[in-house]
Amino acid sequence: MITVSEVTKGFGGRTLFREVSVTFSQGNNYGLTGPNGSGKSTFMKILLGQEDTDHGSISLPRRVGWLRQEQSAFDDHTVLNTVIMGNQRLWAALEERERLFDKGDDLTEDEGVRLGELEGVVAEEDGYEAEAQAAMLLNGLGIDSALHDRKMSEQQGGAKVRVLLAQALFGDPDALLLDEPTNGLDMDSIIWLEEFLIGYQGALVVISHDRRFLNQVCDHIADIDYETIITYPGNYDEMVRQKSQIRNRVEKENAVREKKISQLQDFISRFGAGTRASQTRSRAKQIEKLRPEEIKRSNIARPYIRFPAEPPSGRDVLRISDLSHAYGNHTIFEAFHTEVQRGEKVAILGRNGIGKTTLINALLDQGNQDAGKVQWGHNTRLGVMGHDHRGMIEPGLTVYSWLFAQRPEVGEQQIRAVLGRMLFSNKDGEKPTATLSGGEAARLVMCWLILMEFNVLVLDEPTDHLDLESCSALRDAIEAYEGTVLYVTHDRDLASVATTIWTYPQDQELINYSGPLDEYLDWHKKYYSQAS
């Protein structure tokens, strides 16, 4: 169990949370939610002792697993040993035991006794099964067995993140603290992680921008809002409903109270100076008791995203014929062929590094095609949001001036309106583009896509850096879009609106599946389980 007692934390003159007391109980899975900047990662660091509180205290169980962010910290160790280091008591015992073993016949009597104690620690911590358990976690997260004995310094960034996630999960810790554990995972690995966490018996606190992941894994939501943390039973969608119902109830009760107060004040104004003074005093006391409950301003805000597609493209949007690409001797995809019609929504799926962005680049630039042909249809106008959102925005300008320069003929009023719908206030419009956060940069690029009215959108990981409300708004926008969309994503909620799936079920194999995500996942599970 994790206990938080009267914790207060401010940052940069702003209070994130005030006198928060909350308990994360054994056997429950808690999603820690709130918009970007609300203090989720700060609260997680407070739980880990990496960030001081202004006031209050934290109580943790003996063993806590947590997802480390320092990818280079374990470069000198093998992948397998990095995972085992997640159980620090076991790892210290194994290292000391190894040093004593190296002494051979030169062991002293005291060292022999110590060796026996260490064997007891290894047994208590299930150390004789440690390598097998670590390998199981790595395999589940998509780290091939051939890499287990290789150094961490030889691994790519995405693989390192998955190893560190396996490290956090290793050894059945009493509590798990995970900040964005699905980042860098493909869908197979996310589904495996969900099943693992659903069966986990400790106290889990997890931050994620993956709505479906939170709905699958969490049975409680700890929501940071109104300068406090409120715990709701149920998953994320149930929390949103409860929160909305509570606010609506308070608003209705306040409306009834305000109507009654108005009636009482009318009585007082009519008879206050006359013979009914005692009655007016009574009415004044009633007014004091009826004061409406204060409704604090929530820090949750949802952008309004709608992509116009004017004028529409022709019916045949894209034709791909025998498209191939390789890096040296390594084939990325070969002889891929398909057609895309107006209005299709194509989700491009696969693990990190397998070639999704390479495919996008091949569709946009013939220089990235080794063989084959790509034909864009009549009257197609492409809006492209690359993986590096920030790199698309020119520095040295303000938010408003950059967007205005993209289409000055529409005028200031429309530019301001688009910015406002995407949560940029007039003051935010004067912010230098070089200072934008990742989420702000992504929202500004979406402002550009809205303004330009493209009839084909090509998006590479558009939900990167977005908070949950913005991710949901983007999903709704893609579903409502009358144009054609091709988009790379790991977010299953976003992928669920696709009508067609292009995916790499394994290396060098790119396929076109005509149908929605859930149908594809069922097909993939059946087909590849039979094949194996």
Residue bearing the bigger pLDDT, 262 or 438 = 438
pLDDT at 321: 94
Percent of the chain with pLDDT over 70: 91
Is residue 441 over pLDDT 70?
yes
Is residue 440 over pLDDT 80?
yes
265 burial (CB, 10 Å; 0-12 / 13-18 / 19+) is: middle
Q: What is the mean pLDDT of residues 369-387?
A: 92
How are the residues of the chain apportioned to helix, strand and coil, as percentages rounded to the nearest 5? 45, 25, 30
Q: Determine the longest span between alpha carbons in the chain, in angstroms.
A: 108
484 in Cβ contact with 342 (< 8 Å): yes
The phi-psi region of residue 184 (left if phi > 0; otherwise alpha if psi is between -120 and 50; otherwise beta) is left
Tokens matching residue 32:
């820690």
pLDDT at 532: 47
Rounded distance between C-alpha atoms, residue 203 and residue 209, angstroms:
20
Residue 25 pLDDT grade (very low, low, confident, very high; cuts 50, 70, 90) = very high
Digit-coded pLDDT (tens) for 354-366: 889 999 999 998 6
22: CB partners within 8 A, 6+ apart? 4, 222, 229, 231
Rounded distance between C-alpha atoms, residue 504 and residue 508, angstroms:
7
Rounded distance between C-alpha atoms, residue 15 and residue 404, angstroms:
34
Alpha helices for 173-312 (secondary structure H): 187-198, 211-217, 236-271, 277-289
Tokens matching residue 102:
């190296």
Kindly report the backbone phi and psi dihedral angles of residue 377, in degrees, each rounded to the nearest multiple of 5, phi listed first. Answer: -80, 180
Residue bearing the bigger pLDDT, 363 or 273 = 363
- DSSP state letters, 191-229: HHHHHHHHT--SEEEEE-S-HHHHHHH-SEEEEEETTEE
pLDDT at 326: 87
Residue 3 pLDDT grade (very low, low, confident, very high; cuts 50, 70, 90) = very high
61: CB partners within 8 A, 6+ apart? 1, 2, 174, 175, 202, 203
Name the pairing type of β-strands 2-11 and 14-24: antiparallel
Q: Which of 508, 506, 478 has the alpha carbon at shortest distance from 491?
A: 478
Tokens matching residue 118:
């260490």
- Highest-confidence segment of 222-231, 305-314, 501-510: 305-314
Is residue 212 over pLDDT 70?
yes
Q: What is the mean pLDDT of residues 495-516?
A: 90
Beta-bridge partner residues of 486 = 346, 458
Q: Which of 382, 492, 507, 515 has the alpha carbon at shortest distance from 448?
A: 382
257 burial (CB, 10 Å; 0-12 / 13-18 / 19+) is: middle
pLDDT at 289: 67
DSSP code for 431: S
Rounded distance between C-alpha atoms, residue 290 and residue 264, angstroms:
10
Rounded distance between C-alpha atoms, residue 485 and residue 498, angstroms:
9
Tokens matching residue 22:
């909350």
Rounded to two decimals, what is the model's pTM? Answer: 0.79
- Highest-confidence segment of 122-126, 464-468, 497-501: 497-501
What is the length of the chain? 532
Rounded distance between C-alpha atoms, residue 100 and residue 116, angstroms:
11
pLDDT at 276: 67
Among 231-240, 296-305, 394-403, 413-422, the minimum mean pLDDT is found in 296-305
Distances (CA, A) of 228 to 6, 16, 232: 10, 8, 13
Kindly report the backbone phi and psi dihedral angles of residue 333, in degrees, each rounded to the nearest multiple of 5, phi listed first. Answer: -150, 155
487: CB partners within 8 A, 6+ apart? 345, 346, 347, 348, 457, 458, 459, 460, 462, 478, 494, 498
pLDDT at 290: 60
Kindly report the backbone phi and psi dihedral angles of residue 512, in degrees, each rounded to the nearest multiple of 5, phi listed first. Answer: -110, 115
Is residue 521 over pLDDT 50?
yes
Number of H helices, E strands in the chain: 17, 18
**Mean model confidence pLDDT for the chain:** 88
Is residue 69 over pLDDT 90?
no
Secondary structure in 3-state letters for 315-366 = CEEEEEEEEEEEECCEEEEEEEEEEEECCCEEEEECCCCCCHHHHHHHHHCH
Digit-coded pLDDT (tens) for 113-156: 888 999 999 999 999 999 999 999 999 888 889 999 999 999 88
Rounded distance between C-alpha atoms, residue 8 and residue 329, angstroms:
57
Rounded distance between C-alpha atoms, residue 518 and residue 495, angstroms:
9
pLDDT at 421: 95
Rounded distance between C-alpha atoms, residue 520 and residue 512, angstroms:
10
